[in-house]
Amino acid sequence: MKLKHLTFTALFAATLAAAPAMAAEVTIAKQTVNEALRAKLPEEIRKAGSITSVNNGSFPPYEIVTGNTEMQGASADLTKAVGELWGVEIKHATVSGLPALLSGINSGRYQFAMGPVGDYPSRQGANDFVDYVQEFVVFAVQKGNPKGITSLDNTCGSRIAVMAGGSAEKVIKEQAEKCTKDGKAAIEVQSFTDQPTSILAVRSKRSDAFFSSQAPLIYFVEQANGQLELTGTGLKNGFDDIFQGAVVAKGSPLGGIFLESIKTLMDNGTYAAILKKWGLEKNMLKEPGINLAGKAAK
């Protein structure tokens, strides 16, 4: 079904306008400056009094981007708390797509991304991941699941939306090759640069499903006025244990500082308060870690 551009744009705007509704009424305590953490920051950051976090658009309920420098969501709340611990202002910048985000960090244009971004061994060669949540990958489909998609195994012959450059894109492309090799109907892989556009493709019936992280898909399903549902939950769907977190350049001193900062927020209850505020209790880790992908979960 092809929608007129105005209708699609209106749906896109409506989705973002409704975004903050999922947050519970929770007061997040302001952090006092942790002088030990602040002393570990690179001198140029302490002198500047600010640092820039990069994102690649809305990834609710973690990142809800309402402008080039404005952001809401669990990651925004965590970023604010970290900035308070460090005694610096953390600003936000938006780029188009995950590859641009990672290359921006690797080039030094941006110091970090709060994400969370998926931590995979293939990405650890160029970046370090300070993992603070665990995630699952599932499908958002039209209400009633007309294509009968219940797992990765029965996606042949479907139009599957994914985030361009993300891990789900890689997995669904591998599944598409398997479908063809097995003589089954091909998968039409539809890659989009952001989450709202991907989910709206399903709502407008341009895609049969959106294959992505469970937390944002739960969020979008709740915002869809009964038009969508989740499927494929509780299954591996082509993935091992998935950890997600903040991203820094490989070997950056910010990695260790972030790890200590997240531990501090866990110890004082702020981490749990923020994730519960945004309905992310099932995604919490008992302890953060660096580059947990491929390691045993703690």
Reported as a single tens digit per residue, the pLDDT across 190-246 is 999 888 899 999 999 999 999 999 998 998 999 899 999 999 998 999 998 899 999
Which range has the top average pLDDT, 92-96, 159-163, 218-222? 159-163
Q: 22-25 long-range contacts, Cβ below 8 Å, gap at least 24? A: 22/60, 22/61, 22/219, 22/222, 22/223, 22/278, 22/279, 23/61, 23/72, 23/277, 23/278, 24/276, 24/277, 24/278, 24/279
Degrees to nearest 5, angle at CA 263 with 194 and 119 = 35
pLDDT in the model for residue 135: 93
pLDDT band of 57, cuts 50, 70, 90: confident
Q: pTM for this structure?
A: 0.80
> What is the structure's pLDDT at 58?
81
Alpha-carbon distance values, 264 to 133, 229, 244, 245 (Å): 15, 37, 18, 16
d(CA 176, CA 188): 8
Structural domains of the chain sorted by starting position, each given as residue range(s) with its CATH number in brackets: 11-134+241-290 (3.40.190.10), 137-231 (3.40.190.10)
pLDDT at 282: 87
pLDDT at 19 exceeding the cut of 50 = no
| Degrees, nearest 5: CA angle 103-106-109 | 85
pLDDT band at 173 (very low <50, low <70, confident <90, very high): very high
pLDDT at residue 298 in the model = 40
pLDDT at 9 over 50: no
